[in-house]
Amino acid sequence: MARTRFLLSLINFLVAGQCYCMAAAETNILTDQSSLLSLKSSITHDPENSLANWSNSTFVCNWTGVTCAHVHQNHLRVESLNLSHKGLVGTIPPHLGNLSLLVNLSARNNSFHGILPNELSRLSQLIYINFESNDLTGKIPSWLGSLSKLAKLFLQDNRFSGSIPASICNSTSLEKINLSENQISGSIPKNIGNLTLLKELDLYSNKIEGVLCLKTPGSILTTNKKPLGVAAPKCKVFDFPLQILVKIHPRVGDFALISFANTGKTS
């Protein structure tokens, strides 16, 4: 009899645990759905009616631009959001920060305006961010430095201003950064040498000043119109991989001759 009671208790415990896990998974996918509906409500113009199936009558993983992945015990969560080239007009809501397992976020070639809210700092799994060619304003977010897995960051052709936050150099997984064609000023962060995986840095057409030296066999390149091989005072030599491309044009040999003068032109 005691054994029977034990087995019944064990079965009840396992069933309750399974129900709890299912409820938690449902809450998570519903949270993702709610976050995306908040994004839809912040969009004031959808010329191609791209988000027509973003509704409660369609499963969120089947929505346009949404990709889900199986997580714990085959429960689904939103992993990727790609709304590029949709002509969307609107803002990025803070609720988007609730997509806690999002890996890829792309909304290039739209007309999103306003700032990138601080709540996006909660997207700790992000590897790829692309907001190229929008109307985003404000400063380059300092919270980008908290995204330890971020490898590719594309914010070019917006209206960001202010300086590049030093905290961005805490994202040591970064391989590509493109901040070109903005209104960024100031100097390059002194701790940029922390980005040892960096292969591409594009700061063209901004108001950035200062010096960036690349350590190469027998040559030092500077950004202040000094001749090749002449380092500017207080110029720190960063030991980047030789394949790094600093896109300020033109290329000189195997290296990039770069200048961050106010004109955005090269010497």
Helix or strand run (H / E) with residue 4: helix 2-41
Judge residue 17's burial from the number of C-beta atoms within 10 Å of its C-beta, 0-12 exposed, 13-18 middle, 19 or more buried.
exposed
State how far the Cα of 267 lies from the Cα of 249, in Å rounded to an integer: 9
- Total domain count, the chain: 1
Per-residue b or e along 48-61, where b marks 16 or more CB atoms closer than 10 Å to that residue's CB: eebbeebeeeeebb
In a domain, 4, yes or no: no
How confident is the model at residue 212, as a pLDDT?
A: 61
The answer to whether residue 209 is domain-embedded is: yes
The DSSP-derived string for 29-44 is HHHHHHHHHHHHHTEE
* Residue 69 resides in a domain: yes
Residue carrying the six token digits 């897995």: 149
Q: What is the pLDDT of residue 5?
A: 54
Kindly state whether residue 9 falls inside one of the protein's structural domains: no
- Cα separation values, 264 from 26, 73, 203, 253, 259, Å: 50, 52, 9, 21, 7
The list of the chain residues with pLDDT below 70 reads 1-27, 210-267
Q: How far apart are CA 248 and CA 251, in angstroms?
A: 8
The CATH number assigned to the domain holding 96 equals 3.80.10.10
Give the separation between CA 102 and CA 28, rounded to whole angstroms: 12
Q: What are the CA-CA distances from residue 46 to residues 60, 67, 82, 109, 267 (Å)?
A: 18, 20, 15, 13, 43
Q: Which residue has the tokens 């027998």?
A: 218
pLDDT of residue 93: 98
pLDDT at res. 193: 79
CA distance 128 to 108: 12
DSSP-derived 3-state class of residue 86: coil
Judge whether 204 and 221 are in contact, CB under 8 Å: no
| Domain containing residue 193 | 29-223+235-247
- Residue 182 placed within a domain: yes
Instruction: List, for residues 177-215, the tens digit of each pLDDT value.
Output: 999 899 999 888 888 878 888 888 888 888 877 656 554
* Per-residue confidence (pLDDT) for residue 190, from 0 to 100: 81
Asked if the structure places residue 48 within a domain, the reply is: yes
Residue 67, exposed/middle/buried by CB under 10 A (0-12, 13-18, 19+)? middle
Of 156, 255, 263, 170, residue with least CA distance to 213: 255
Q: What is the pTM of this model?
A: 0.76
Q: What is the DSSP string of 180-221?
A: -SSEEEEE--GGGGG-TT--EEE--SSEEES--EEEETTEEE
Residue 66 domain-assigned (yes or no): yes
Within-domain flag for 169: yes
